[in-house]
Amino acid sequence: MSSPELYRPIELTFEGTAAIPTDRTPLTVRLRHAASRTEHVVPGFWDGGTTYRVRLAPELEGDWTWASESDDPSLAGRDGAFTVERGADHGPVRVAHRFHFAHADGTPFRPVGATAYNWLHQDEPLFTQTVDAIAEAGFNKLRFMVFPQGGGYVEHVPTLMPFEKTDGRWDVTRPVPEFFQRLDRAVELLGERGIQADVLIYNAYDRGQFGLDELTEEEDAAYLRYLVARLAAHPHVWWSLCNEFDQLERPDDRWDRTGALLGEIDPYDHLRSIHNWIELYDNNQPWVTHASIQNGSVTTDFGRANLYRDVWGKPVVLDEIKYEGDIPERWGHLDAEQLVHQFWIATVAGCYASHGESFVTESGSLHMVEGGPLRGDSPARLGFLREILEGLDVVGLDPIDKWDDPAHVAGIPRRQYVQYLGRSAPTSWSFRLPIGVPGERVEEGDVFEVDVIDTWNMTVTPVGRRFTVTEVQRNDAYDRVSEPVALPEGAAVALRITRIGG
């Protein structure tokens, strides 16, 4: 048997004498690393009958020991050891360099996400087709809900529900193992395809259809503990408390307490967010790792989205900037060119974005509800954007001169820059860079190469000559000698500007 791999889940199975209600943790495992003395206390969960499981996710190579603790003697007092070796997994994604993301091993992660809220509840072949389509398009994050979605454009009503009922009310102490085993498999399937699972925990879209939006705060907490115990060992999990949280009639302090609880009980410190409808959540709350934002206009023009970064000092993921589709609702009929344009605006704002597709499907639903094959023209272009981001020499893009740069150039000063010229490029571009504060100042004699990126036709064309800075002013640097770069006038164009020998 091969040794466990770094960051990959290790599952321990226990047989108890009776079913323990899941409003309390049935057992924990104390996990210790021999060399560093690092210790984690990992909760277990009931998985049907008298079967209990604990999923461990060691983040250090070497020798580990474990021991179980429980009020049930049949679950307590077991122990063991294993040795962890490095494998291919890069580990959980966390915040890096303040506004960006990286895996636990330091590998940068640039999210280019997708959305299929009700995907978990679809039958085959739609269920698998969704993952195939998302992976083939190049998306590396998928947002989906645990609880089923109700309301408009939802044509499929699942029969498998998360809890049993007691006296006509959902009983969170009696989860349905088959439901959560399906959720396990969904998360595993995404991981196998290199896609982060952005799990939407609570449901603002029940709309009275199922009654899963009527849980008390105590019931929310019991469900949350069970969910975290099942999923937290997977390295590619992100937590989102709710999509459009402000559609639920709950006071902000309840969300505050629930988010704080999530941060407390997750032994692996996964990313945590909450997504808004109209009212922005206070993303300064310490439990929030990054801001997940819905805003229909913040990416329609330059210089807006980056203001969120300044307010919260955290990464910003614009998880809803309207969708490519053909429905009459104002959020659902962007053309592909406009959605790709808005992604690029988000990019040079130092933010990230998520895709959604709202073409009406054969069932009468939408892709961003049920999933399935993608129909739009934007996914391929957004996969190309991800390739550009993955090819950068810098961890992430930050606005260089936020105070007053008319070109809205992003990057890392004196290293690498990206300038997006919009949906309609001019005939030419003359070499000019902003001087940012803070960061290294460009100096006379610095040499750069420039690539012209056609964001729609998905091409990268090196200019083929180098540029040398001949003049540095207070706020700008120029090459006054070189000829301007000819551009495909009217095309959607970005420039990648990289310092040579720096």
Structural domain includes residue 3: no
Same domain for 386 and 432? no
Mean pLDDT, residues 473-501 taken together: 97
Range of the domain at 314: 93-390
Same domain for 334 and 203? yes
Same domain for 288 and 149? yes
Q: How confident is the model at residue 56 (pLDDT cuts 50, 70, 90)?
A: very high
3-state secondary structure 275-311: ECCCCCCCCCCCCCCCEEEECCCCCCCCCCCHHHHHH
Same domain for 161 and 37? no
Structural domain includes residue 357: yes
Q: How confident is the model at residue 2 (pLDDT cuts 50, 70, 90)?
A: low
Same domain for 102 and 76? no
Same domain for 270 and 152? yes
Structural domain includes residue 311: yes
CATH number at residue 320: 3.20.20.80
The string of pLDDT tens digits covering residues 184-209 is 999 999 999 999 999 999 999 998 89
Mean pLDDT, residues 413-419 taken together: 97
Same domain for 44 and 63? yes
Same domain for 495 and 405? yes
Indicate the residue among 84, 111, 142 that finishes a domain.
84
Q: Are 340 and 323 in contact (CB under 8 A)?
A: no
Structural domain includes residue 318: yes
Q: What percent of the chain has pLDDT over 90?
A: 94
Number of domains in the chain: 3
The string of pLDDT tens digits covering residues 221-250 is 999 999 999 999 999 999 999 999 999 999
In this prediction, residue 59 carries a pLDDT of 94
Residues β-bridged to residue 39? 32
Q: Which residue has the higher pLDDT, 123 or 24?
A: 123
In this prediction, residue 1 carries a pLDDT of 46
Same domain for 97 and 75? no
Does the pLDDT value for residue 20 go beyond 90? no
The string of pLDDT tens digits covering residues 297-350 is 999 999 999 999 999 999 999 999 999 999 999 999 999 999 999 999 999 999
Residues β-bridged to residue 352? 317
In this prediction, residue 502 carries a pLDDT of 62
The string of pLDDT tens digits covering residues 66-118 is 999 999 999 999 999 999 999 999 999 999 999 999 999 999 999 999 999 99
Please, what is the average pLDDT of the chain? 96
Same domain for 179 and 47? no
What is the helix (H) or strand (E) element at residue 145, kind and residue range? strand 141-145
Structural domain includes residue 4: no
Structural domain includes residue 5: no
Structural domain includes residue 48: yes
Mean pLDDT, residues 478-492 taken together: 97
- Threshold 0.75, pTM exceeds: yes
**Least confident interval from 230-234, 243-247, 436-440, 465-469:** 436-440
Same domain for 463 and 409? yes
Same domain for 328 and 242? yes
Structural domain includes residue 1: no
Strand extents, DSSP E, 381-472: 398-399, 410-412, 416-420, 428-429, 432-434, 447-454, 459-468, 471-472
Indicate the residue among 84, 101, 118 that finishes a domain.
84
Q: Return the C-alpha torsion angle 377, 379, 383, 389, nearest 10.
A: 100
DSSP state of 4: P
The string of pLDDT tens digits covering residues 3-14 is 899 999 999 999
Q: What percent of the chain has pLDDT over 70?
A: 99
CATH number at residue 60: 2.60.40.10
In this prediction, residue 19 carries a pLDDT of 80
Indicate the residue among 84, 105, 121 that finishes a domain.
84
